[in-house]
Amino acid sequence: MELTGRTVLLTGASRGIGALLATELAKHRPHLVLVARDARELETVALRCRETGARVTAVAADISSAADRERLRQTSGTVDVLINNAGVETTMMLTDQAREHVEAQIATNLVAPIELTRLALPAMIARRRGVVAHGCAGAQVDGCAGGLPPPRRARVQIPEATYPQG
Ligand SMILES: NC(=O)c1ccc[n+]([C@@H]2O[C@H](COP(=O)([O-])OP(=O)(O)OC[C@H]3O[C@@H](n4cnc5c(N)ncnc54)[C@H](OP(=O)(O)O)[C@@H]3O)[C@@H](O)[C@H]2O)c1
């Protein structure tokens, strides 16, 4: 898909893979909507992207919050490309994790990408054009299969996948 002028919503854009991705995407001069919780870190990436001439909207938001997702939907407008990159990883044993910690991972790594996709899809389907990519890794609970050696880590994720349309 030609990205110039298209709206690309990228979560987890403030550092790591997301920050690198934002910088690369900016070279194609889309309207970049960059999302992360830390506004200062996000603005640093946004400034770098603007230097290439891209239009950038930085939205400090917690994707695990339904209210923030709705704010994001209203700010972004029609999304052409959704990149669900934001995610949290842990190396903690599942048995060492509090229920709240597990639920927070599910909310960020599983519910948020599904809900953001649900919000973006109707317009994509109507236009018969759009891309949804999941960079956050896998709807699986690693290392908790019964009978296997103790888990080294446990995380809740959705499968890495890209669903190009049109
Ligand atoms: N690094 C790897 O080797 C690897 C391998 C496979 C898959 N992945 C997946 O790729 C993605 C990026 O990895 P990374 O290593 O670049 O991670 P990272 O450096 O920890 O960056 C995570 C990004 O997600 C944002 N984020 C986290 N929770 C958020 C929330 N609730 N709402 C909004 N933004 C949130 C963070 O910003 P704030 O903290 O400011 O919100 C940050 O921008 C993750 O989903 C990870 O699971 C990484």
CA dist 5 and 153 (Å) reads 41
Q: Which whole number is the average pLDDT over 22-33?
A: 97
12 lines ligand 1 (CB under 6 A): yes
Domains and CATH numbers, the chain: 7-165 (3.40.50.720)
Percent with pLDDT over 90 in the chain: 75
Average pLDDT over residues 99-117: 95
Segment 137-146 long-range contacts (CB within 8 Å, at least 24 positions apart) = 137/87, 139/109, 139/110, 141/94, 143/94, 144/94
Q: Residue 18's closest CA among 135, 132, 157, 112?
A: 135
Q: What is the pLDDT of residue 137?
A: 57
Residues contacting 137, CB < 8 A, separation 6+: 87, 157, 158, 160
**Ligand 1 binding pocket mutation candidate from 15, 70, 75, 141 (most atoms within 8 A of CB):** 15
113 within ligand 1 shell (Cβ under 6 A): no
Ligand 1 touching residue 18 (CB < 6 A): yes
* 88-104 pLDDT tens trace: 988 888 899 999 999 99
Is residue 89 lining ligand 1, measured as CB closer than 6 Å? yes
> From the CA of 126, how far away is ligand 1's center (Å)?
30
pTM recorded for the entire structure = 0.87
Phi, then psi, of 110 in degrees rounded to 5: -120, -60
Q: What is the position in ligand 1's atom list of the atom closest to the CA of 108?
A: 31
**Residue 103 CB less than 6 A away from ligand 1:** no
- Residue 1 pLDDT level (bands cut at 50, 70, 90): confident
Does the CB atom of residue 70 touch ligand 1 within 6 A?
A: no
Contact in structure between 87 and 136 (CB atoms under 8 Å): yes
pLDDT in tens, 39-83: 999 999 999 999 998 999 999 999 999 999 999 999 999 999 999
